[in-house]
Amino acid sequence: MQQEDLLVQIDALKEQLLHLLTIWYKSQTELLQEILFLYENIFGNIETEIEQKEQNAKKLEQKFKILSTYLENNEPVKRQSIEFIDKLLFNNDNTKFKKQNTYTNPKNYFIRRDINKKLDTTANDKIDIVSIYRHIVKKLHPDIIQESNIFKLCWANVQFCYQNQDAERLKMFYLILCGNYEGNIKIEALINEINQLKDYIEKQHKDNEYLQTQEPYCFKDKLSNEHWIIERKNTLRNKLVQVNKRITHNNRLLRQIKIVD
């Protein structure tokens, strides 16, 4: 296969990958906000109540676990210790959480539920991210491409990936934007790039499909279905009942602990 044919194939694959990345970005931003707006209007109050009580239940469980260590060691539980634990657990403004959550919507219950599932970047990943990002930004700089169509398609998406430390998709953009085909290029290098683009396309296609099966994206076509809305409300009410039971149970356990002044 001639070099020119391989380059044409590479351009077509890059266009296909960029299209998939655009779908991913719009799903994570425009579509997400659209769904959340509708969802919040219907379920916002009960979701907020569940979330607040869930946090309270976890803190009560932590408190009982801490105090249980005193009892296991035959140590008295002093009121001063109780006050310290309460201050530690209940006077927390969740600053740490807010710093971790790079998504800005304060009502995004789904992202907060999945916060621990986010990409875990190692130190080397972070170095790669900074290096890759700088190369991409240089290629997209308005002084170089003068806000062309490629700038409009990539700039916001790249910023989104960088803010969320998404090394994998930044590498995809690097492959799309930072190739150098000047001079003589080995056929083997072009074939390797084609194979890498195909792998990225398959991966991104699967990611896009999987995203649509997750909350809240899977609710998109259900938020106008009255029957589903009733079922969802019942599910959330049942969840609230279970959380309240946990709170009641742990308060009962805590009341049984003898406190020494």
Spans of all domains in the chain: 3-119+187-260
Quickly state the pLDDT bin for 182 (edges 50, 70, 90): low
How far is the C-alpha of 13 from the C-alpha of 7, rounded, in Å?
10
Q: Mean pLDDT, to the nearest integer, of 181-208?
A: 89
Mean pLDDT of the chain: 85
What is the per-residue pLDDT for 4? 86
Q: pLDDT at residue 39 above 90?
A: yes
Question: Is 197 buried (19+), middle (13-18) or exposed (0-12) by CB count in 10 A?
Answer: buried
Instruction: Report whether 252 contacts 60 (CB < 8 A).
Output: no
What is residue 115's DSSP assignment? G
| Residues in contact with 76: Cβ distance below 8 Å, sequence separation at least 6, in sequence order | 70, 260
C-alpha distances (whole Å) from 38 to each of 33, 43, 236 are: 9, 9, 16
Q: Is 77 helix (H, G, I), strand (E, B) or coil?
A: strand
Residue 179's pLDDT is: 72
Average pLDDT for 228-256: 96
Considering the entire predicted model, what is its pTM? 0.72
User: Please, is 41 exposed, middle or buried when counting C-beta atoms within 10 Å of its C-beta (0-12, 13-18, 19+)?
Assistant: exposed
Residue 108 has pLDDT above 90, yes or no: no
| pLDDT at 110 (0 to 100) | 61
Tell which residue, 246, 236, 250, has the closest CA to residue 109: 236
pLDDT surpassing 50 at residue 118: no
Q: Among candidates 48, 20, 38, 72, which has minimal Cα distance to 223?
A: 38
Report pLDDT for 3.
Answer: 85
104: pLDDT strictly greater than 70: no
